Structure 1
């Protein structure tokens, strides 16, 4: 029988707890659920009012992966959803991970969490700017760190404060708390910034997605600021060979990065980091930290 667990008064069926999700390390589905329960105090503030998309990988990263925006079949009626405007479906809704029961229900599906840059109730009005730094081999996260430092200082010149996290894959994400701003305005600013970075460092940065332009350079992906786009949430596990996490990092760590291993964090690493450092992304949830675009 599938065990039923009570989470804050909600009955949740947690299945296949011994199933190995990450074969390279033997990390099981039960450990996935334990990880999310442990990091919930840090994770929930970053997703609690943002519609999420799921990248599901119930048979592990080597199995079928499928991206879903709509609430999955069987979503409990107590799970909050929010309207998400889409041209192809004006009545679309997405799940909001509003509390611990919803987080545990979603984690049981084995998912990556991806969020919009705007909150439920204010679609297409960004309160966060995101830049996704993606290295083209042989470039690595080391080159991403060099680009991130330039972008941090350039953003600071405009009165904006950037915070960094690993993507949980190969690169870095920069996030900036914003005063409410139309997503189109935030997107245009992010594109100008990426173009300026390329002009200043043409041997390091590229702002266009074309693969032919990217070997050995860092693609500064500004497109994730579009209202329809989502980005991997802080503390989400990723569907990689190992249970890597999109983990907030300090600027001191970015400055000191000399090898990809320096910013490669697994679930257990992140639990230890939270116990030691707290949530390095906490300022993003503080309205007093929000900046205005120039």
Structure 2
């Protein structure tokens, strides 16, 4: 029998709470749901008004992993959905607005991925994103070096980026922008990535070609495209361990850049497990709260 819980007046069906999703650590589905409920206050503002793609892994990362972009069958009628433009035609997607919807979505066992625009204005980018992905033997330490360069470069244009771990090997930088299309955001981000490669030729590559990436950091600017999504801050990733895409401060980024230390174990360096993130939220609050302040968004240079 599937247990039913009430969340803010909504009846939410929960299933297989004892299922182990991460065999290496024994982390269960029930613990995953508890994590999301615990960080909901800081996570929901970053999900609100954004169409969500789910990278589902119902039997854990060792099992089948697949993307769900359109509204899944059986979605409760009280979960908000929105019609969004797609190249192949409009699609209806989930928009996670409240705790009940977050708990329902977490029961699907999924990473949360969002676009760089809100559903009310899909033709306007409100986020600028850089995904820093290290090619072995480069690590997150090299990503942090590149992030520091990007922070200084963006500051020259009046743009203030915020950093988070990818929850895998790399780092994500996002900034609040306004008054531009996704195409304009992509063009700007590509230009900055090319500059980074010229300034740090032994460390950065701006092209996706795998053969160019060994020992370097790929500065992926392409996630600014309207159709692309990025792992949402605070989401747990479908990796070998239950690492979280967690906000980090620039002081932490600087310390990691100077360490040169490999991050090979869960919880090491800038790798955070759910319990680490819960503790950090209690201590620091939401390090990404400034991204939600409309007064901090800036126009890209023309």
TM-score band by shorter chain is: over 0.9
How far did 1:226 drift? 0.2
Which residues of 2 match residues 117-136 of structure 1 at below 5 A? 117-136=116-135
Q: Is the 8 A contact 2:130 2:219 kept in 1?
A: yes
Give the aligned partner of residue 239 of structure 1. 238
Give the aligned partner of residue 290 of structure 1. 297
Q: Note the residue ranges of structure 1 that are not aligned, 5 or more in a row.
A: none
Q: Is the 8 A contact 2:124 2:178 kept in 1?
A: no
Q: Is the 8 A contact 2:144 2:254 kept in 1?
A: yes
TM-score, normalization: structure 1?
0.99
Give the aligned partner of residue 65 of structure 1. 65
2:195 alignment partner, SS class: helix
Q: Is the 8 A contact 2:57 2:64 kept in 1?
A: yes
Which residues of 2 match residues 1-294 of structure 1 at below 5 A? 1-88=1-88, 90-257=89-256, 258=259, 259=261, 260=263, 261-294=268-301
How far did 1:223 drift? 0.3
Q: Is the 8 A contact 1:56 1:67 kept in 2?
A: yes
Q: Is the 8 A contact 2:163 2:171 kept in 1?
A: yes
RMSD of aligned residue pairs (Cα, Å): 0.7
How far did 1:91 drift? 2.7
1:262 alignment partner, SS class: coil
Moved over 2 A (4+): none
Q: Note the residue ranges of structure 2 that are not aligned, 5 or more in a row.
A: none
Q: Is the 8 A contact 1:237 1:243 kept in 2?
A: yes
1:143 alignment partner, SS class: helix
TM-score, normalization: structure 2?
0.96
**1-structure distance, mates of 2:116, 2:82:** 14
Q: Is the 8 A contact 1:82 1:121 kept in 2?
A: no
How far did 1:180 drift? 3.4
Q: Is the 8 A contact 1:205 1:218 kept in 2?
A: yes
**1-structure distance, mates of 2:219, 2:123:** 21
**2-structure distance, mates of 1:157, 1:83:** 37
How far did 1:124 drift? 2.7
